[in-house]
Structure 1
Amino acid sequence: MSHISYDIVIVGGGSAGSALAASVKKRAPSLTIAIIEPSDKHYYQPAWTLVGAGEFDVNKTVRPMAEAIPDGITWLQAAVTEFQPTEKQVVTDKLGTIQYTQLVVAAGLKLNWEGIKGLTETLGKNGVTSNYRFDLAPYTWQLVQQLESGEAIFTQPPMPIKCAGAPQKALYLSCAEWQGKNRLGHIKASFYSSTPALFGVKEYVEPLMQYIRRYKVNLNLNSTLVEVDGPAKTAWFNVKDADGNVTRISKPFDLLHVVPPQTALDFLKQSPLVNADGWVEVDQHSLQHVRYPEVFGVGDCTSTPNAKTAAAARKQVVIAAENLLAQREGKALPSRYDGYGSCPLTVEKGKIILAEFGYGGKIVPTFPWDSTKPRRSAWLLKKYVLPWLYWNLMLKGREWLARCGACG
């Protein structure tokens, strides 16, 4: 089955890849489009934070990949092993060589669980969990319910990561649960973040700090989790001081919520499409590859300096769809991506600070309100509206709110 050819080949059937396929097919129904994706499941990952707080059914965050692939799109269930952009083809593990006129890379990123010593051996037991995995988010909720006293530690690795607010979401929702059960006085919550600031957009820092104080969280910045001993209930951190000196400290825990370090995927790192850090090298506004004009990139795998969120992917797919169709016809690329990303920060049960921002940390709100204020309406949006919108609109090429924002 070698040398199959398509007008457009999309590598990756996650949020960005499937949504892009739907958007292009809607605009140009006659084109032959294939998605290369090895997984047989498709996940709605933004809800896993709510799963870890007992607010969402984990089984409603997964569907068969066949249901997520848009109508009229060919699903090639295989993995890409090599990119050959000068020949306009990719090599797969099961289907041989696939040729294309245009290529879109939407492969996501790698959760590097092995990047923290001892972590993989203890995940899902010994009080060690993560909302970044489908099978572990329910364990987070189990631990939160069971903990009545002791040390609860929440971590954030170095950037870039997908949904930079998610590490804090786990912290706030757990603390809200404990506060509601009058346990917070017996449970000491700590947040250890590799970043130098609580959040990357300055306007949201003080509103979030109010919750840090409300929940009496022990906040530790410039602190990176490097090792875990689950049976000994001990975590080690590298802490950097103002002069750049690094000290290693150990901390005991009863609950440890870990967000793993995240990197570019191995098969992409070895390709000619990436920059020195392994990210697909595209123009940050057009999403067109800087060296191969028939190649575009969307979602978490690209070099664009935006927040890696489902909201960003939702906006990017419209830009990429319009631009790749223009490129196909030899026209100037009409659309520009402004770096939009959204992070619905679940600061308590029933309230969210809906952080929305573009390149340079510029606030770009979708709705006519002060986005630094926690709101009930934003909670309803995240819990009820956005999952429905994702499955029924975004993956179907219906681009409601895609030009102006909120989804993540």
Structure 2
Amino acid sequence: TLLLLLLLFLLPFSSFSFSYSCYFSSHSSSSSSSPPLLPSAPPHLLLLLLFLLLLISSFSSFSSSHSSKLLVLGGGAAGCSMAAKFTSSLGKGQVTVVEPTDTHYYQPMFTLIGGGMKTLSDSRRPMSQVLPSGAEWVKDKIVSFDPDNNTVRTQDGKQIEYEYMIVASGIQMYYDRVKGLLEALEDPDSGVSTNYSPHYVEKTLKNLQRFQQGNVLYTFPNTPIKCGGAPMKAVLIGDEYLRKHGKRDVAKLTYCTGMGVLFPSPFYAEKIQTILLGRGVELHKNKTLVEVDRAGNEAVFKTGDTTERMRYDTMHVTPPMGPVPELATSPLVDQTGYVTVDKTTLQHVKYGNVFAMGDCSNLPTSKTAAAVAAQCKVVYDNLSAVMAHKVLPQSYNGYTSCPLVTGYSKCMLAEFDYTLKPLETFPLDQSKERSVMFQLKKQIMPLLYWHLMLRGYWNGPGVFRNMFHLGGIIKQQNRE
């Protein structure tokens, strides 16, 4: 563009210089005076500028398209892990990661931040530090998919062609599906917060600190969410905070979920319900938050066709969540907007060179970082087999895990698979609240995440579970 402007600027002067020189050449014999100084350009300048202009135009056309052996969509836990694994095996420049944000968050830490046990800075790293140096990072977002032609298009207009693709774009919050919610979250004095966003997670602790007496509400939407146990962690941490600060006797805690169950696994759901009721928390199922009336400090819920208003003094909201809209309208998804994959191989049911994992997939298991870790080895081995034209060797059993923090020192480590039955790692009853599990959640898991998982070295605790298998048998016998 600059060269074009320069060309247009110099063109008149160059033409005038040529005619002006001819004029003085024809009149040189009749005049001895020197011509006035005028801007001029060498005769070859126009040709040079035209050449450079064509070169820039050609380069621009080249840079608007890109090809990659492996395209990874998303720079979250799944995207970073898979980019690291395949960059190591395929080599530098063979993996392209499309991720629009500059910062990577360890989202499982948000619950602890909301309780004041960690800081927001503990949970974040620059994206440039967590993506492998051998991968190419396209800082952009995908706006359209054409899997029939192995291409995607970015918001900036770049077309990326791929041989293989891993979709790991996660899910996003849809605040606008609850009337008045975003305005309440933006208002520092509304008393409304959520642990699900780095923009609002610090409000949770501030609201507990400001609370004097009244109603404390906690909500769960009627959509799939990240870590289905996190809303109940917020309840139990809030309960213990109020007890520690002498406010629990003047607080009524209420938990409203839009689902018909408290937790996917019935075994752990029973344990969690016992804890919540034991803490004096009022429970409501099939009750969905649809509006936040900030002016009246009221939350509006729907149960079937019935609408109910509940007053709040402090409220923690889990917003509705779902796939990013660009993905939800692509040929890759089912009717709910999630990528359709085989639940054991994680390969797309129609496009064999496409795999999906993590929150954006339609896998019938809880959306957690632990699930992603277990999926990493399955996707890596199976996609590598596809590249080598071999039989897919790995099968995913639906393993997922949720460290259910129940306060400032205890945690119940829930682990289960597609059967929803416990698939626990350690040779002890993990359905009990334990301080050792709390330290595992608070201190050890972040280290595993930053230093092993994002570098492609952590595939979940399956190896350790096999080591402790005898303990698992003994544990089951003790339960029976």
Is 1:47 the counterpart of 2:109? The answer is yes
Q: Is the 8 Å Cα contact of residues 311 and 405 (structure 1) preserved in structure 2?
A: no
Taking the aligned partners of 1:403 and 1:80, their CA distance within structure 2 comes to 34
SS class of match (1:8): strand
Question: Equivalent of 1:304, from 347, 363, 367?
Answer: 363
Q: Distance between the aligned counterparts of 2:152 and 2:462, measured in 1?
A: 31
**Which SS does the other structure have where 1:334 is aligned?**
coil
Cα pair 1:173 1:349 within 8 Å, conserved = yes
Residue in 1 that maps onto 2:133: 71
Tell me the residue number matched to 2:269: 205
Q: Is the 8 A contact 2:374 2:459 kept in 1?
A: no
> Tell me, what secondary structure is at the counterpart of 1:396?
coil
CA distance in 2, matches of 1:401, 1:110: 24
Q: Hey, what does 1:26 align to over in structure 2?
A: 88
Q: Between the two structures, name the one with larger relative contact order (CA 8 Å, sep ≥ 6).
A: 1
Indicate the larger mover: 36-45 or 358-367.
358-367
What are structure 1's unaligned runs of at least 5 residues? 241-245
Residue 193 of structure 2 corresponds to residue 134 of structure 1: no
CA distance in 1: counterparts of 2:422 and 2:463, whole angstroms: 12
Change (3 A) 1:95 1:60: farther
Separation in 1, partners of 2:357, 2:454: 15
Q: 1:31, CA displacement in angstroms?
A: 6.9
Deviation of residue 68 (structure 1)?
1.2
CA contact (8 A) 2:291 2:301 kept: yes
**Structure 2 gap ranges (5+):** 1-62, 466-480
Change (3 A) 1:80 1:37: same
| 1:243 alignment partner in structure 2 | none
Mapping of 1:321-400 within 5 angstroms?
A: 321-399=380-458
CA distance in structure 2 between the partners assigned to 1:263 and 1:147 by the alignment = 32
The match for 1:84 is 146
Give 1:225-244 correspondences, 5 Å limit.
225-240=289-304
Please state how far the C-alpha of 1:135 moved relative to its aligned partner. 2.0
2:168 counterpart of 1:106 = yes
The answer for the alignment partner of 1:17 in structure 2 is 79
Give the Cα–Cα distance (whole angstroms) in 2 for the partners of residues 96 and 49 of structure 1: 37
1:167 is paired with a residue whose SS is helix
Task: Quote the residue 1:222 is aligned against.
Answer: 286
Helix, strand or coil at the partner of 2:101? coil
Partner of 1:256: 315
2:460 matched to which residue of 1?
Answer: 401
Could you tell which deviates more after superposition, 303-312 or 367-376?
A: 367-376
Instruction: Give the corresponding residue for 2:211.
Output: 147
Offset from partner CA, 1:173-194 (integer Å, 9 cap, x none): 0001111223211000000001
Matches of 1:400 and 1:83 in 2, distance apart? 29
- Indicate conservation of the 8 Å contact 2:370/2:460, yes or no: no
Is the 2:93–2:135 Cα contact (8 Å) retained in structure 1?
Answer: no
1:122 aligns with 2:184: yes
Equivalent position SS for 2:204: helix
More displaced stretch, 92-101 vs 316-325: 92-101
Aligned length: 401
Report whether the alignment pairs 1:178 with 2:242.
yes
C-alpha contact (below 8 Å) 1:82/1:267 kept by paired residues: yes
Deviates more, 1:17-26 or 1:287-296: 17-26
Structure ID, larger Rg: 2
Q: Does structure 2 retain, via aligned residues, the 8 Å contact 1:184–1:215?
A: no
Q: Distance in 2 between matches of 1:11 and 1:405?
A: 30
Say which SS state the counterpart of residue 303 (structure 2) adopts: strand
Post-superposition Cα deviations, 1:257-314, rounded to whole Å, max 9, x if no partner, equal: 0001111210001111111111111101100000000000011000111100111111
1:194 and 2:258 are equivalent in the alignment: yes
Task: Go from structure 1 to structure 2 and tell me whether the alpha carbon gap of 1:402 and 1:323 turns closer, same or farther (over 3 Å shift).
Answer: farther
What's the RMSD between the two structures over aligned residues?
Answer: 1.5
1:5 aligns with 2:67: yes
When normalised by structure 1's length, the TM-score is 0.95
Cα drift, residue 215 of structure 1: 1.8
The range that moved more, 25-34 or 222-231, is 25-34
Length-normalised TM-score, structure 2: 0.81
Q: Which secondary structure does the structure 2 equivalent of 1:359 belong to?
A: coil
Deviations 1:41-100 (A, max 9, x none): 111110000000010011111111101112311111111111111111111122611111
Report if aligned partners of 1:17, 1:106 keep a CA contact under 8 Å in 2: yes
Correspondence for 1:275 among 317, 334, 351:
334
Of Structure 1 and Structure 2, the greater strand share is in 1
Quick check: 2:99–2:140 contact (8 Å CA) kept in 1?
A: yes
Amino acid at match of 2:217: I
Using the TM superposition, give the Cα deviation of residue 360 of structure 1 relative to its aligned residue in structure 2, in angstroms.
2.4
User: Cα offset for 1:402?
Assistant: 5.1
Task: State the identity as a percent.
Answer: 36
1:166-215 CA distance string (max 9 Å, x none): 11010000001111223211000000001112222111123212321232
